[in-house]
Structure 1
Amino acid sequence: MIEVKGNVIDKQTRCAHYHSERDVIAIKFFCCQTYFPCVHCHEEHGCGNHAVWPKERFHEKAVLCGVCQTELTIEQYMMSDYRCPHCDAAFNPGCQLHAHYYFDI
């Protein structure tokens, strides 16, 4: 099982900040190469050197489905239509509003 750091409240990567039924992804932060459920968890427990994923590295695995533990590339995640391509778990479409905290978009 991949370790997810931060204020994680369940095995599907929900955290104290985001814990709806669809909040089931974690993001590997570019700066520290560590998975966190959200930017707030990274701010509280992360490396202190926040950096976003550059576009030329969107082919790398950086998104974790908390339901099936499948790692997705950033490209796969962005083209997923808010569902895991492996287990079909629904992802929160509201996460697109925060994508700039994680990815160079």
Structure 2
Amino acid sequence: MERIVHGVKVKGLQVDPETRCEHYAADVDIIAIKFACCDTYYPCRECHDALRDHDAKTWKPAEFGEKAVLCGHCGRELTIEEYLRSDSRCPECHAPFNPRCSFHYHSYFDVPSEA
């Protein structure tokens, strides 16, 4: 239910050393997102919803300067703004992130959903 990844506590279901979980386990699924509602890192919305008793809240644009995305490969905490501009790569270690995560941005960040 909980794993320390690069010194950061990540909660979720079957979290591996690079933040993959039982819902998203591809090689490129290596980020965890700190949820605005509970200030806790989870690999995905499904893990949050399975382990918490409250509704998830999205980060508002005024909060996009907050460090809320963890690279599971190197441990860099990115601001939301850095992550959204990252072109699906960690700006520190250049590990690839799953580009399909953009389809779920609206679940975490107050941005328009992509089709």
1:19-98 alignment runs, 5 A limit: 19-98=25-104
- Three-state SS of the structure 2 residue aligned to 1:95 is helix
Aligned: 1:101 with 2:112? no
- Three-state SS of the structure 1 residue aligned to 2:94 is coil
Q: TM-score, normalised by structure 1?
A: 0.97
Counterpart residue type for residue 27 of structure 2? E
- Three-state SS of the structure 2 residue aligned to 1:3 is strand
Shift in CA distance, 47/29, structure 1 to aligned 2, threshold 3 Å = farther
CA distance in 2, matches of 1:8, 1:70: 21
Which deviations, in whole Å up to 9, do the C-alpha atoms of 1:50-71 show, x marking residues without a partner?
A: 1100110001100000001110
Using CA pairs under 8 Å that are at least 6 residues apart, name the structure with larger relative contact order, 1 or 2.
1
CA distance in 2, matches of 1:49, 1:62: 18
The structure carrying a bigger strand percent of its residues is 2
Contact 2:49 2:55 in 1 (8 A): no
Q: Which moved more, 1:77-86 or 1:6-15?
A: 6-15
TM-align CA RMSD: 0.8
- The counterpart of 1:7, out of the listed 10, 13, 18, is 13
State how many pairs are aligned: 105
Which deviations, in whole Å up to 9, do the C-alpha atoms of 1:16-46 show, x marking residues without a partner?
A: 0000000000000000000000000000012
CA distance in 2, matches of 1:15, 1:71: 19
Contact 2:33 2:42 in 1 (8 A): yes
Shift >2 Å, 4+ stretches: none
Contact 2:15 2:43 in 1 (8 A): no
Counterpart residue type for residue 91 of structure 2? P
Contact 1:14 1:23 in 2 (8 A): yes
